[in-house]
Amino acid sequence: MVSSPAIICDSSSLISFAETCNIEAFYFLKDFLHARFFVPPRVRSESVTDPLKIKKYEFSAVRLNKLLEDNVVSLISVPNLARDTVRVMDLANNSFFIGGKPLKLIQSGEAECLAVIIGAKMDAFLIDEKTTRLLIENPRKLEEQLRLEYSRPVFTKEENISAFRALFSKVKVIRSTELLAVAAKNGFFAPFKENESHALHSALYSLKTAGCSITERELTHYFSIRV
């Protein structure tokens, strides 16, 4: 049986793909690898509806809108979406405190994606921004960084961090770089013939400069991948 992974997408990754001319990767992954991509309503607003009204970003939004029109990416809602979005935000935004004040780390777009994961079976969460990813994968690292940035005591509410992580322990977090690398391994850059690997490496670099949270070191490791 061929797997058909369900992937919930945050606007940070959609923007990375759109701004680096890599949107065709979604079509490729759907057609050849049977991927199913989803966005919740708030992500559609952030990535498409709102920027359609801003001249500078209109074309980028038009291209992302086409993904929805072509059913390559589907809008998804789940029962209790609003309730679970609030629940996720309450946990995440009351995990770290400075001077008695909670740090409001994530907003409703990121939280809505997570609420979809609670309400529906999702195999992966596609997100390029770092905070939400760290809350799931390694909140200690986030805490460490907060201590460095603020040079003030950071209080951690462990029960909220544990409860948050428990909700998302099974979800794989991937970035635009991973998704593009998978597409490349399956022939996405084959039209570039002898420049296939070069195309992948330069595309990965462009994703980093578009804001994907990938380190220079990680990028160097990716550059060793040949396709």
Residues numbered 80-139 forming contacts with another protein, rule: CB under 8 A: 96, 98-99, 101, 103-110, 123-124, 128-134, 137-138
Report the residue count for the chain. Answer: 227
Q: Is 163 in the site for another protein (CB under 8 A)?
A: no
Nearest Cα neighbor of 13 from 132, 188, 187 is 132
- Helix, coil or strand: residue 168: coil
In this structure, are residues 200 and 186 in contact, taking their beta carbons and an 8 Å threshold?
A: no
Q: Which CB atom, from 92 or from 193, has the smaller least distance to another protein?
A: 92
- Helix, coil or strand: residue 95: coil
Report the relative pairing of strands 154-156 and 96-98 from DSSP bridges.
antiparallel
CA distance 85 to 37: 19
C-alpha dist (Å) from residue 87 to 19, 70, 93, 102, 160: 32, 33, 10, 15, 11
**Closest CB 86 distance from another protein, rounded Å:** 15
Q: Is 65 in the site for another protein (CB under 8 A)?
A: no
**Closest CB 107 distance from another protein, rounded Å:** 4
In this structure, are residues 227 and 196 in contact, taking their beta carbons and an 8 Å threshold?
A: yes
In this structure, are residues 186 and 32 in contact, taking their beta carbons and an 8 Å threshold?
A: yes
In the window 165-224, what residues touch another protein (CB under 8 A)?
172, 174-175, 178-179, 181-182, 185-186, 208-218, 221-222
Candidate ranges 8-16, 78-86, 160-168, 187-195; the one touching another protein (CB under 8 A): 8-16
**Closest CB 11 distance from another protein, rounded Å:** 6
**Closest CB 223 distance from another protein, rounded Å:** 10
> What mask of x and - would describe binding to another protein in positions 138 to 157, judged by CB under 8 A?
x--xx--xx--xx-------
CA distance 5 to 135: 23
**Closest CB 120 distance from another protein, rounded Å:** 16
Q: Is 51 in the site for another protein (CB under 8 A)?
A: yes
Token representation of residue 82: 């609003």
In the window 10-29, what residues touch another protein (CB under 8 A)?
11-12, 15-16, 19, 29
**Closest CB 61 distance from another protein, rounded Å:** 9
Q: Which CB atom, from 86 or from 182, has the smaller least distance to another protein?
A: 182
Token representation of residue 35: 């991927």
